[in-house]
């Protein structure tokens, strides 16, 4: 049903070989929440593997050209997105990379749901920038 956005992402993202569309429990809870978090960076794994900004795509009917277009557009600059009232999409260099992103995103969503509204901490911009030094091996 969603082959058009899978193929569209793969055509746009030559650096990726896998697109995984899934509905994990906690991420789907957040996809269905009225007041969604704007920051999912509750652990270092999220900005390191999923990206520090995870866009939320408006609801479009599953299988629709509108959904495919919105997913392809968002995935041009993101490896992980949340589909409003629907699910999630990640892309990766291989299946293990995509699956790891999905698992870390689900972990972050579980922390957020478990902590309750406005009762969780996120990494600061400075802490995220410091991770780039660690992950990319850059020294300041």
CA distance 101 to 91: 8
- Rounded to 5°, the CA angle 66-67-68 comes to 90
Say whether domain 3-136 belongs to CATH 3.30.470.10. no
CA–CA gap between residue 120 and residue 40 (Å, rounded) = 10
Name the percent of the chain lying above pLDDT 90: 80
pLDDT digits (tens, 9 = 90+) for 4-23: 777 889 889 999 999 999 99
Q: Is the pLDDT of residue 139 over 80?
A: no
Q: Per residue in 28-37, pLDDT tens? A: 999 999 999 9
């Amino acid at each position: 049903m969603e082959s058009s956005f899978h193929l569209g992402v793969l055509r746009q993202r030559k650096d990726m070989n896998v697109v995984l569309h899934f509905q994990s429990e906690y991420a789907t809870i957040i996809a269905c929440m009225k007041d969604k978090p704007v920051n999912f960076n509750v652990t270092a794994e999220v900005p390191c593997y999923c990206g520090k900004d995870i866009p939320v795509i408006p609801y479009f009917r599953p299988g629709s050209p509108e959904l495919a277009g919105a997913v392809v557009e968002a995935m041009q600059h993101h490896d992980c997105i949340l589909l409003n009232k629907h699910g999630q999409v990640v892309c990766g260099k291989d299946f293990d990379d995509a699956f790891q992103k999905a698992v870390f995103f689900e972990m972050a969503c579980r922390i957020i749901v478990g902590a309750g509204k406005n009762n969780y901490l996120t990494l600061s911009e400075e802490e995220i920038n410091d991770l780039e030094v660690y992950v990319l091996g850059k020294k300041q």
